[in-house]
Amino acid sequence: MRAFYFDNIPGDQRLLHDSGNPVSDEILKSAGVLHWHIPTSQQYQIDAVAEKRNYKNRDTITITKQSLGDLYEAKLKNFYEEHMHEDEEIRYILEGSGFFDVREHPTDSWIRCHLNAGDLLVLPAGIYHRFTLDENNMIKAMRLFKDEPKWTPINRDSSTDANPYRVDYLKSIAVN
């Protein structure tokens, strides 16, 4: 995985949008973002991560024009809306590639994380983020869950900063 600040230049969301300013692992960790590279030939290691982090369920999602058909454009637009979840978002990339953008606090800058096959990303509950494919237009990912599989986005608006999961997230990343 490679992380960098998003360049904020208008245009296709699937382009790299690399500002030329890399983001270190320390900055990602300070935002609560965790990541590992586990080669897809060693997927059994995912079981160890799942056990350690108490992930009980998983499924697989494939995002392509072929797999989503007429819903493709609407789904991509929905995934790219800035949102948060009340659960961790865990993705292990099996094939293809894409971008997860996360908001840095307190600057509100976008950090773009480019994921490829073998990358495992954990976003904490309460972090603002969005997802899009890259120019390859294909990703197959394993989604891991602590409880029953669910994906409930809470789009950012004037009320989301008061959401208890957002408040807890901000407390968890506060510098003491």
- Sequence ranges of the binding site: 83, 85, 89, 129
> Is 94 inside a domain boundary?
yes
> Is 155 inside a domain boundary?
no
In whole angstroms, give the CA distance from residue 17 to residue 153: 24
In whole angstroms, give the CA distance from residue 70 to residue 65: 8
- Sequence ranges of the binding site for Ni(2+): 83, 85, 89, 129
The per-residue pLDDT for range 38-89, each reduced to its tens digit, is 999 999 999 999 999 999 999 999 999 999 999 999 999 999 999 999 999 9
> Is 167 inside a domain boundary?
no
The per-residue pLDDT for range 80-95, each reduced to its tens digit, is 999 999 999 999 999 9
In the prediction, which pLDDT does 175 show? 57
Handedness of CA 176, 34, 148, 164 (dihedral sign): positive
CA angle 10, 94, 140 (to 5 degrees): 55
The per-residue pLDDT for range 116-175, each reduced to its tens digit, is 999 999 999 999 999 999 999 999 999 999 988 877 899 999 999 999 999 999 999 985
- Sequence ranges of the binding site for Fe(2+): 83, 85, 89, 129
Domain that holds residue 100: 1-6+33-148
Band of pLDDT at residue 176, cut at 50, 70 and 90:
very low
End-to-end Cα distance, the chain = 29
> Is 47 inside a domain boundary?
yes
Domains identified in the chain, total number: 1
